[in-house]
A and B are shown apart, each in its own frame.
Chain A
Amino acid sequence: MRLKYLGGVYPTTFKENTRRKPIVPLEPAPKQVIIPLVMCTDGGAVPVVKVGDKVTVGQVIAQPEDRGVYVHASVSGTVSDIGTYPHPWGGTGEAIVIDNDFQDTPCPNLPEPMDWSKMNREEVIRRIIEAGITSMGGGASATHLRLKRAVGKVDTLIVNAAESEPYLTSDYRLLLEKGDQILEGTQMLARFLRAKRAVLVVSGDKLNAVEFLERRIKKRDPSAVELVTLRTRYPMGMERLLVRMVTGREVPPGQTALDLNCAVFNVATVYTTRLALLKGQPVTHRTVTVSGGAVARPRNLWVPIGTPLKCLLEAAGGLREESPCMLTNGPMSGTIQETLEAPVVKNTKGLVCLSQQEHDPVTQPETVCVRCGHCVSVCPMNLNPAFVYRAVRMGEVERLKGLHLADCLDCGCCSYICPSHIPLLELVRQAKTIPTQGGEKG
């Protein structure tokens, strides 16, 4: 087994801010939640409620158009508007607004808890669709589609608890507080996929969780779940890199992990999948880390989906200083939120408000490339950003041809490490859109 890949960077993790803060429910509860209809990259949903309808927690408020998943109300109350609202992925999108009545009335007609070992495949898939489960780390693909594709083909199930983004601790807290449930969920998925090996990947900055899980695994079935601890570095949660580190196989260009008989699921996805299968609970809440140098009291929160980000910030004590940059999902690959009007969606792992001091290195002026080669040595996909820079800046488009830009994972290591502060990731993204002669594929 080769637990290595070339490259990666070692940013300060700043996880000390929140790693000792248990997951607490959002207090005060939001007055209003904005639930976007598009929370899944595989397809949107159409509302099944009208303005003025009373809804309860877990009630279906939108159903999938074709390949998407169901959307549920995360608080009980009245639907006050169906319209266009800001979306945390950028831009705006259609959303259902629910005025909270602070009762948290549970939905009466949730599916019955049942014995998952007796369920057949269609039952499982149906439950997952109905619970509205999408991938809850990073990419928001529909879990049932991934499961359907992977059934029977997979020999290794990888559960990703690497959480290599700085500041974020939601997966870490989940491991510590719901370790047993996650192990059970992993076993369930492995059994469903008929995978021979189930691996839980944790990075080295979560040694408390590793120790705890090791004890739990020993007590349960030691052969069922394998715990792999990797040296902390960014990026690690990328599918291709996880497969490389756990199995030593490299995903060829243009293929996915599935072609190498591996399936990768985020730890939060595994946890919600277990809840859906066992208890029939839909995805209405998730853990969100609110952290960053500008946040007064950083913490891990259990947040209803659709809560506006500003409510999260309020619950964390507001801003200590003016924040030059606020992002969802960590500073390395997260999305900048100009205003905090956008709501929490199913793949929002955290809200990070950087302080001026933390953000300063980024605002330094760009200087010329000195050919130090750092960007080449940190690229996990063996790309050559220095050459991309040269080709784009000198306008030599044909030189982009052999550089395999389609392999880029958008991890941003090159931009991070560049001593000249060149926005290399943006250059690479720009270069990807330039059609090259010969139209190289993949």
Chain B
Amino acid sequence: MKPTIQRMSPQIAQVSTLSATMLDVIVALVPALLMGVYLFGLRVLLVTAVSVGTCVLSEYLYRRLRGMSNTIGDLSACVSGLLLAMSLPVTAPLWAPVLGGVFAMIVVKQFYGGIGRNFMNPALAGRVLLTTFPGLMTSWVDAFHHTNLSGQADALSSATPMALMHDGILPDLSLGQMLMGQHGGAMGAAPSLMLIAGGLYLIARRVISPRSPFAFLATVAVLTFLFPRGGNSNLSWMMCQLLNGGVLMGAFFMASDYATTPVTPRGQTLFGIGCGALTVLLRYYGSYPDGVGWAILTMNCCVWILDRLGTPRRFGMGRFAATRMKLQAMKASLSEIRFVKPEFRLFARAGAGTMPGEGYLDELQVKLKELVSYGGVLLAVAVMVFAVHRSTDYATVLAENEAQQALLSQVMPQATIRSETPYYDQRALSITAGYNESQLIGYCVEVQSHGFGGVITAVVGVNTNGEVTGVAITDHKETLNKGTLAMDSDYLAQYIGKSGTIRHEGSNSIDAISGATETCEAITDCVNQALAIVAGLDTSMDVPYTDGEV
């Protein structure tokens, strides 16, 4: 129950209300939205309408069902919906704004108590949730390739400016093109000029304070100016970094959000600086092309400490005195922390028993159960973390894939896809099939043999006619210069086209390298094994088999 306080003074107040403030934000966003329509087509309006509708409806329904007051009149849900829509690509399927909006309004905003109490920017959280869906946030449409209402674009852009800059390449765009947003990007974040105009409108109307947006932009500008990538000139690199991606949108409309930024002036400046620094860091070293969303959300979580760091100096207190007071307060609160030595008794509840140690048995059982469950949890977490790491470590996956592809092109140049097979042979480490677009070419067999220095592992491609298509050595322990001479492509090319059993001399043989005879013999042995394995494959076996990519 709130204590009601009669207002004594002042008896005049500024006219503005929260809904008027939010209306100002909407007005500031409209030019960018209209430019988005001009650039990307009418589907922009459809996605925006769905997003705004979802946000308003989910807030209304949640509060209605929970029996709380109706707050959609303050228009903050509209603003969130608008911001969410404007940071999506125009080709986004319509479920994307619905999912993002529901998550933003209900999970991020209403679960924490509604407007003013959420600690993360709802629109941004919804957008970042959607970036976790692969493919959704990567298919950006180039400007002026108008998308029809069902989301079919007549051309996809090859790469957005952000993706190019992520690789250190300056996009081929003039300043005017960047200001007008004539490039691929989110439907509202592309037209920089309109965003700047909107932001300045908000500042002029005193809706937002210029501290955090300007600190944000200045930090990005300074850092990108000082540290350009890819050997580009400082100024053009800085301009491209500022005018592309979500920096302007984030600075003016998200880093200035009321609830999720500090209230103290200095805190707001620190917030902006933090956002800028994190954005540049994530752009340079992150795996996503743009890092604005992550940067702002991360700083949203730091608002509590920024508010306290930014508390204004007490009036009449000199800077030194104020600093001293702060240090004293810090010392006082640190001295509150006491390290209490935990009392560790293994068998705290040991009971009595007739046999020696009997009282401990129950206790022991409980402890063991605990240990097992803890261990289980730990194991599960470790497995999960490892799995997530493996599956999300994009670079590793990419490198593995490339290595596999290189191997295939050496072993079976005719094939384009390598696929698993259900076949098994005792002599082979693995048997995989090679396909081109239409049909089976042959099999790649991984076999081992003893060479001069140790085990040689080779992958041998054998086509369906029983002819060798290529040989690749994947692992060996041969001596350098001598043994490895037998592994160069000239030597291995001799095997191509051979079939049957390859002998050391005479017909159907190959020229061994002098001084590396044992290695050559071992490779030949591998090839022979592979030929024998393929020849002996029982392919008539009726195995349920589906074609899948590696």
Chain A interface (Cβ < 8 Å from any Cβ of B) = 6, 9, 11, 166, 240, 250-253, 255, 325, 327, 331-336, 354, 358-359, 361-362, 364, 367-373, 375-377, 379-384, 386-387, 393, 402, 404, 407, 410, 412, 415-421, 423, 425-427, 430
What residues on B are CB-neighbors of A383 within 8 Å? 312
Closest to A165 in B: B10
Shortest B205–chain A CB gap in Å is 12
Q: What is the bound-complex CA distance between A423 and B3, given in angstroms?
A: 11
Q: Are A362 and B13 in contact (CB under 8 A)?
A: yes
Asked if B9 is at the interface (CB within 8 A of a chain A CB), the reply is: yes
Say if the beta carbon of B16 comes within 8 Å of chain A: yes
Closest approach, in angstroms, between the C-beta of A108 and any C-beta of chain B? Answer: 43
Cβ contact within 8 Å between A426 and B263:
no
Contact A420–B258 (Cβ < 8 Å):
no
Q: Is B390 located at the chain interface by the 8 A CB criterion?
A: no
Question: A423–B7 contact, CB under 8 A?
Answer: yes
B206 nearest CB neighbor, chain A only = A374
Partner of B262, one of A327, A373, A423, A427: A373
Chain A residues, Cβ within 8 Å of B116? 368-371
12 contacts between A and B (CB under 8 A): A250-B317, A251-B315, A332-B12, A334-B11, A367-B18, A368-B114, A370-B258, A372-B21, A376-B263, A376-B265, A404-B314, A426-B6
Known: A368-B114, A371-B259. A416 touches B13 (CB 8 A): yes
Determine how close the nearest CB of chain B comes to the CB of A186; give it in whole angstroms.
Answer: 26
Q: How far is the CA of A404 from the CA of B329 in the complex (A)?
A: 14
Enumerate the 4 nearest inter-chain pairs by beta-carbon distance, A residue then B residue, closest first.
A373-B263, A382-B312, A412-B10, A370-B116
Give A404 to B311 CA distance when docked, in angstroms. Answer: 12
B9 and A376 contact, CB distance less than 8 A: no
In the complex, which residues of chain B have a beta carbon less than 8 angstroms from the beta carbon of A368? 114-117
**Per-position 1/0 for B95-125, Cβ under 8 A of A:** 0000000000000000000111100000000
Interface 0/1 of B1-27, CB less than 8 Å to A:
011011111111111111011000000
A373 to B264 Cα, complex, angstroms: 6
Given contacts A370-B115, A376-B263, A425-B10, whether A407 and B16 have CB atoms under 8 Å apart is: no
Given contacts A336-B9, A370-B258, 14 further A-B contacts (CB under 8 A): A251-B315, A333-B9, A334-B11, A354-B12, A359-B12, A362-B11, A370-B18, A370-B259, A371-B261, A377-B265, A404-B314, A410-B9, A419-B21, A430-B3
DSSP majority for the B interface? loop
Contacts of A384 in B (CB 8 A): 263-264, 311-312
- Once the chains bind, are A382 and B117 in contact (CB under 8 Å)? no
- Using known A-B contacts A368-B115, A426-B6, determine if residue A253 contacts B11 with beta carbons closer than 8 Å: no
Contacts of A9 in B (CB 8 A): 14
Given A362-B7, A373-B258, A376-B265, residue A240 in contact with residue B13 (CB < 8 A): no
> What is the minimal beta-carbon distance from A389 to any residue of chain B, in angstroms?
10
Q: Which residues of A contact B74 (CB under 8 A)?
A: 367
B432 at the interface (CB under 8 A from A): no
Q: Which residue of B lies closest to A365 (CB)?
A: B17
A96 to B527, CA, bound (A): 125
Contact assessment for A252 and B316 in the assembled complex, using a CB-CB cutoff below 8 Å: yes
B264 contacts A371, CB within 8 Å? no
Question: Nearest Cβ distance between residue B79 and chain A, in whole angstroms?
Answer: 12
A25 nearest CB across to chain B (Å): 29
Q: Which residues of A contact B503 (CB under 8 A)?
A: none
Is A415 a contact partner of B18 (Cβ separation < 8 A)?
no
Q: Does B313 contact A (CB under 8 A)?
A: yes
Q: Which residues of B contact A404 (CB under 8 A)?
A: 314
Size bracket of the B interface? 35 or more
List B contacts of A426 (CB < 8 A).
5-8
Tell me the smallest distance from the CB of B204 to a CB of chain A, in Å: 14
Complex interface: chain A residues within 8 A of B317 (CB): 250, 252-253
| Chain A residues, Cβ within 8 Å of B11 | 325, 327, 331-332, 334, 336, 354, 359, 362
A45 to B316, CA, bound (A): 36
Which residues of chain B have C-beta atoms less than 8 A from A382's C-beta? 312-315
Q: Is B209 an interface position by the 8 A CB rule? A: yes
B3, B5, B261, B265 — most chain A CB neighbours (10 Å)? B5
Bound-state CA distance A410–B10 (Å) is 9
Residue of B nearest to A327 (CB): B11
Q: Return the CB mask of B162-181 against A: 1 if under 8 Å, else 0.
A: 00000000000000000000
B5 to A, closest residue via Cβ: A426
Q: Which partner residue on chain B sits nearest A333 by CB separation?
A: B9
| Cβ-defined partner of B258 (8 Å) among A11, A372, A393 | A372
B-chain residues with CB within 8 Å of residue A335 when the two chains form the complex: 9
Residues of A close to B160: CB separation below 8 A = none
**Known contacts A332-B12, A371-B263: A376-B312 contact under CB 8 Å:** yes
A415 and B13 within 8 A (CB): yes
Using Cβ atoms and an 8 Å threshold, which residues of chain B touch A417? 14
Residues of chain A within 8 A of B58, CB atoms compared: none
Q: Which residues of A contact B10 (CB under 8 A)?
A: 331-333, 362, 412, 415-416, 425
For A402, the chain B residues whose CB sits under 8 A away are: 329
Among B17, B268, B329, the residue within 8 A (CB) of A373 is B268
* Complex: A197 Cα to B361 Cα, angstroms: 91
Q: How far is the CA of A423 from the CA of B7 in the complex (A)?
A: 6
Given the complex of chains A and B, what is the CA–CA distance between A336 and B313 in angstroms? Answer: 34
By a CB distance below 8 angstroms, the chain B residues around A354 are 11-12
Chain A residues positioned under 8 Å from B14 (CB to CB): 9, 11, 361, 416-417, 419
Are the CB atoms of A373 and B5 closer together than 8 Å? Answer: no
For chain B, residues 242 to 292, give those with C-beta under 8 angstroms from any C-beta of chain A.
Answer: 258-259, 261-265, 268
Chain B, residue nearest A5 (CB): B315
The chain B residue sitting closest to A429, CB to CB, is B8
* A416 adjacent to B264 (CB under 8 Å): no
How long is the Cα–Cα vector from A364 to B329 in the complex, in angstroms?
40
Residue contact A361 to B264, C-beta cutoff 8 Å: no
Chain B nearest CB, measured from A188 CB (Å): 30
CA distance A253 to B325 in the complex (A): 13
CA distance A370 to B314 in the complex (A): 24
> B18 contacts which chain A residues (CB < 8 A)?
367, 370, 419-420
B481 vs chain A, min Cβ distance (A): 72
Q: By the criterion CB–CB under 8 Å, are B313 and A393 in contact?
A: no
Which one, A253, A332, A364, A415, contacts B17 given CB within 8 A?
A: A364
Bound: A371/B263 CA distance, A: 6
Known: A368-B114, A370-B259, A377-B209. A331 touches B314 (CB 8 A): no
Q: In the complex, which residues of chain B have a beta carbon less than 8 angstroms from the beta carbon of A11? A: 12, 14
Answer whether A253 and B265 are a contact pair too, CB < 8 Å, given A331-B12, A354-B12, A361-B14. Answer: no
Whether the pair A415, B259 counts as a contact (CB closer than 8 A) is: no
Residues of B within 8 A of A430 (CB): 3, 5
When chains A and B are docked, how far (Å) is the Cα of A390 from the Cα of B134? 41
- Give min CB distance, A385 to chain B, whole Å: 9
- Residues from chain A with Cβ under 8 Å of B5 in the complex: 423, 426-427, 430
| Most central of B10, B258, B265 by chain A CB within 10 Å | B10
Nearest Cβ on chain A to B255's Cβ, whole angstroms = 13
| Residue numbers in B under 8 Å from A380 (CB-CB) | 315
Check B12–A371 contact: CB distance below 8 A.
Answer: no
A295 CB to nearest B CB, Å: 15
When the two chains form their complex, are residues A253 and B9 in contact, meaning their CB atoms are under 8 A apart?
Answer: no
- Which residues of chain B in 291-329 are interfacial with respect to chain A, using CB atoms and an 8 Å cutoff? 311-317, 329
Count chain B CB atoms within 10 A of each CB in A332, A407, A419 and give the residue with the most.
Answer: A419
In Å, the complex CA distance between A418 and B6 comes to 16
